[in-house]
Each structure stands twice: as C-alpha cells, then as structure tokens.
C-alpha cells in the first residue's frame, strides 16, 4: 500500500486520541469474536489471539504509518510499515501457537487473516485524518458484531455472561466518547472551512460528555451486577484496589510534606532560642478514648450480617467523599476568579455611565467621523489544501481589483469568471480550474486532496506569468 506524502501537521486529537481509540473499539469486538471461535474449535481454546496482541496490531500499525507520513516521508517509511507488519505477524503467530503453528491449519489461517486485516486497518487509520462518518460506521459495525457474539455465546453456551459484560460495557463507553469527540472535531473543521476560524474545545462540553458517558456506564454496571453478581464483585474489587492505591499515594505525599515541614520547624527551634515563661505551664488533660464511650455498642452491631456492614461502610464512605467533592466544587466555583480567555462573551449594560457619556460626546460628531477601512477579505487560517485554495482565490480577486474588475455584491464566482474572461486575455481553462476548486473548497465539506491545491497554485502561476508578459 503506497503512502502519500502530506504537509499537514500532527494533531493530538485527529491523529493521537481518535485513531487509537478506534483501534481499541475494533480490538474489543474482534477479540470477542475470536474467543467465540476458539471455544468452538476441537479441542477448544480459551482464546485464539490475546486482546493485547489484537490492540497492539491496530495501534502499532497506526503509529508506524503516522511516523512514515509525518516524519520519514520516503522509502524508509514504506519499509518501516512493511517490515513492521511482517515482524508483527510472526510475533502474533508465536504468541498464539508457540512452536507448533501447523497443528491446526484452520485456526492458523484465521489468525493470519485477522493479523493482516488488523495491520491494514491500522495503515488506513494512520495515513490520513478520519472523518466522523467513519467512526459512526465502525461503531455500528461493532454493535452488530457484539450482538452476533452474544447470540452465538448464548446459543452454544461457550462464553459466560460475566465474560461478555465488561468488554461490551467498555466498548459502549469508549464508542460514545469517540463519537462525541469526532462530532466536535467535524464541527470545528466545518467552521474553519466556512468562516476561516473554529471554536475552541470547551471544558463544559467535555464535562457534560463525561457525565453522560459515566452515567451510562454506571447504569450498565448496575444491570451487570444484577445478571452477573460475580462479575460485579470483581469490578468492585478492582475499584477498591484503585481506591486504596490512590489513598496510599496521597498519604505518602502528606507524610513527606509533614516530614519536611516539621523538620524545618525543628531546625528553626534549634537556631532560635525562646525565653521560657515563668508561669505555670498549661496542663493537657488526657483525652477520653472513643472505644470506651462506645464499648457498649458492639453488641448492637454484631447482630447484622458482615456483608451488610461492609456495604454500609462503603456507601457511607462514598457519601462522605461525594459531599466533600460537592463542597469543594461549590467553593471553587464561587470564589475563583474567571480568567479573561475563558469568558465566552462579555455583555455591557446600556445604562453604563461611561457608555452614556461616550454616546453624548459623539452625538453631534457622527458626520465628521471617519470609519476605518475594513479588510478586503476574511482571514483564512491553516495550511491545509482548503485554506490554500481559498487564499489563492483571494489573490485572484485582489489582482482583478487592481485592474478595474471588482467583485460586486451578489456576484457569484461563475459570473466573476465570465467577467474576467471577457475583460482580460487569459487561459479560460486555468480560470475555470481555480473557480471550480474554490467552489469545492468553500461550500463542500468533503476532504480535499493536496494535489488539488497544487493544481490551483500552478494555474494561478500561469495566469500571473501571462499578465507579466503582456
């Protein structure tokens, strides 16, 4: 597969987050399908290709392709992708079959086919930016594949529901997040193509999407706990482990800070000598132990089952944490200073005293005021093919205006093309090419190839050279 050279810059969302998230989405349903296939084999296997291998094939091929497209841009990139694919296929077969790959030719053929297909998917995802439609189609294909896997697993009794719930839940959570982010990027690119600038990534939008996805995952987790309690117990164990790990790290940080702080106080106490007071020192009373106050309460709690006690402790801890987080969020929201760049818009009251003074001062001087000349064209940002074509067309408009042919209000590009062709002696096919590509870049949201921008620049160069010769 031939890699095309591109001049676009690497974007952390279009080329970093979204392609590798797509690789994870594809790896989930593909791995479940392979697990179902492996259980049907004789003798049955636990899995045909491990999950990390499937994801690694998709992710590594995407990374190698992006490295070839953005950095190498020569035959070294092609050899990197091809050689990496051969090595990845050999490692996949070794991990899946060991030193006896020909023991089951059917499973070997499926493994080779899946390996080659995954590597090809990674190349396609890494060589050019992916649009929202591609993510939507892959999400639908994944849902269909997961439905077939669930139907096959329940029909053949090869996979337990507990083995299917977590991958399916993970797929839907990741898929919804990818669709939301791809939709945002598609809207940004549309705004950039039509207006020359796009809106920024809003943290409130990210928070809303995160809350919605988390709520759906929580609902799925609750339903999974109803139908597969052992699966829910494993998830709770993982959450508890992560919680203990986070709290341990926080306690270590607090201990280090306290050690440094009290060490500094100890040094200051040795350097600075305080005069002792002659009065009677304050006597601290021995505190009353809480276990002595509530030692009679143990009998009441011992009648409850230990499972309910543990659930009550977990719920209480969660409520306390949520309350603390809510209080912190309210305090942070109320007392923090809003940065200037974070403000979406600024509204000015019409009853402002300064504004009324300015209006009164300019009441009788409006006729004498001179308006600043607006820029003749909108500012077009970016270095993609669409922006390049629009900038070339602006150069054509400026060139025509200097020679007396100005684009009037309501005049279409086709009408301007006819006017320029009648006024000047220029090649009609070059002017038609620039006009056609401009209309495509201005009003069509489909991706534009870099070759189109190169043809437009060449046509404009021909027109400019003919004008100099004339």
Report residue 245 as tokens: 């790990």
pLDDT at residue 295 tops 60:
no
Q: Using the CB atoms, write b or e for 279-305: b if 16+ within 10 Å.
A: eeeeeeeeeeeeeeeeeeeeeeeeeee
Q: Is the pLDDT of residue 389 over 70?
A: yes
468: exposed, middle or buried (Cβ count in 10 Å: 0-12, 13-18, 19+): exposed
- Cα separation, 51 vs 388, in Å, equals 43
Contact 4, 447 (CB under 8 A): no
Of 164-168, 304-308, 397-401, 407-411, the range with the lowest mean pLDDT is: 304-308
* Encoded tokens for 134: 């591609």
pLDDT confidence band for 284 (50 / 70 / 90)? low
Paired tokens of 442: 């201005």
pTM assigned to the model? 0.50
The per-type count for the chain, helices as H runs and strands as E runs, is 16, 0
The rounded distance, in Å, linking the Cα atoms of 162 and 241 is 20
Neighbours of 417 (CB within 10 A): 18
Output the CA–CA distances (angstroms, integers) from residue 84 to 98, 148, 232, 414, in the order listed: 20, 32, 39, 50
pLDDT at position 10 is 80
- Judged by DSSP in three states, 375 sits in coil
Mean pLDDT, the chain, rounded, equals: 76
Domain boundaries, the chain: 12-227, 229-270, 385-469
Please tell me the least confidently modeled range out of 30-34, 208-212, 310-314: 310-314
Q: Which of 178, 68, 176, 167 lies closest to 122 in space, CA to CA?
A: 68
Query: Which one, of 386, 430, 381, 376, lies nearest residue 407 by Cα?
Result: 376
| pLDDT tens profile 134-175 | 999 999 999 999 999 988 888 888 887 777 888 888 898 899
Give the pair of three-digit tokens for residue 180. 């939301």
Long-range contacts at 30-35 (CB < 8 A, ≥ 24 apart):
30/54, 30/114, 30/118, 30/145, 31/167, 32/145, 32/146, 32/149, 32/159, 32/164, 32/167, 33/145, 33/148, 33/149, 34/110, 34/114, 35/159, 35/163
| Residue-wise pLDDT tens digits, 90-130 | 999 888 888 777 777 888 888 899 999 999 999 999 888 88
Query: Measured between alpha carbons, how far is residue 113 from residues 53, 56, 83, 119, 238 in Å?
Result: 14, 16, 17, 10, 35
What gap in Å lies between CA 90 and CA 86, rounded to an integer? 6
Q: Which residue has the higher pLDDT, 217 or 386?
A: 386
- Residue with structure tokens 């083995």? 163
Assess contact for 29 and 171: CB atoms under 8 A: yes
CB 5 within 8 A of CB 148: no
Closest CA relative to residue 315, chosen from 251, 247, 248, 236? 236
Helix (H) or strand (E) holding 456: helix 450-469
- For 9, which DSSP code? P
At 425, phi and psi to the nearest 5?
-90, 95
Q: Cα–Cα distance between 11 and 383 in angstroms, integer?
A: 13
In sequence order, what are the residues at sequence separation of 6 or more whose Cβ sits closer than 8 angstroms to the Cβ of residue 309? Answer: 301
């Amino acid at each position: 597969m031939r890699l095309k050279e591109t001049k676009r810059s690497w974007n952390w969302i279009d080329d970093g987050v979204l392609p590798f998230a797509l690789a994870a989405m594809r790896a989930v349903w593909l791995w479940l399908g392979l697990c179902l296939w492996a259980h049907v084999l004789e003798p049955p296997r636990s899995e045909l290709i491990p999950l990390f291998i499937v994801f690694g094939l998709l992710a590594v091929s995407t990374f190698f392709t992006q490295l070839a497209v953005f950095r190498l841009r020569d035959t070294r990139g092609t050899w990197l992708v091809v050689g990496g694919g051969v090595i990845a296929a050999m490692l996949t077969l070794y991990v899946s079959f060991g030193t006896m790959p020909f023991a089951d030719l059917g499973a070997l053929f499926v493994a080779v086919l899946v390996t080659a297909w995954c590597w090809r998917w990674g190349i396609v995802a890494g060589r050019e930016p992916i649009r929202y439609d591609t993510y939507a189609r892959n999400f639908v294909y994944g849902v269909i594949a997961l439905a077939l896997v669930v139907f096959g697993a329940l029909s053949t009794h090869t996979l337990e529901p507990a083995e299917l719930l977590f991958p399916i839940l993970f797929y839907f959570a990741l898929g919804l997040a990818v669709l939301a982010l791809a939709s945002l990027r598609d809207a940004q690119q549309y705004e950039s193509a039509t207006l020359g600038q796009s809106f920024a990534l809003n943290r409130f939008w990210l928070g809303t999407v995160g809350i919605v996805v988390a709520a759906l995952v929580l609902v799925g987790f609750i339903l999974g706990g109803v139908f597969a309690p052992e699966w829910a117990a494993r998830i709770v164990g993982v959450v508890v482990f992560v919680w203990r790990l986070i709290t341990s790290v926080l306690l270590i940080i607090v201990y280090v800070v306290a050690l440094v702080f009290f060490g500094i106080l100890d040094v200051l106490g040795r350097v600075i000598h305080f005069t002792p007071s002659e009065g009677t020192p304050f006597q601290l009373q021995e505190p009353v132990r809480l276990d002595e106050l509530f030692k009679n309460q143990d009998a009441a709690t011992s009648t409850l089952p230990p499972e309910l006690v543990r659930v009550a402790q977990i719920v209480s801890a969660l409520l306390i944490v949520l309350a603390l987080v809510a209080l912190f969020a309210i305090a942070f929201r109320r007392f923090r200073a809003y940065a200037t760049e974070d403000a979406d818009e600024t509204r000015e009251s019409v009853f402002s005293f300064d504004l009324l003074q300015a209006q009164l001062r300019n009441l009788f001087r409006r006729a004498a005021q001179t308006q600043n000349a607006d820029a003749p064209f909108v500012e077009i940002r970016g270095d993609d093919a669409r922006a390049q074509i629009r900038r070339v067309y602006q150069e054509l408009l400026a060139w025509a205006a200097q020679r007396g042919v100005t684009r009037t209000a309501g005049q279409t590009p086709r009408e301007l093309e006819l006017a320029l062709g009648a006024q000047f002696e220029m090649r009609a096919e070059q002017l038609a090419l620039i006009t056609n590509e401009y209309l495509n870049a201005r009003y069509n949201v489909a991706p534009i190839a870099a070759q189109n921008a190169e043809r437009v620049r060449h046509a404009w160069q021909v027109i400019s050279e003919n004008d100099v010769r004339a």
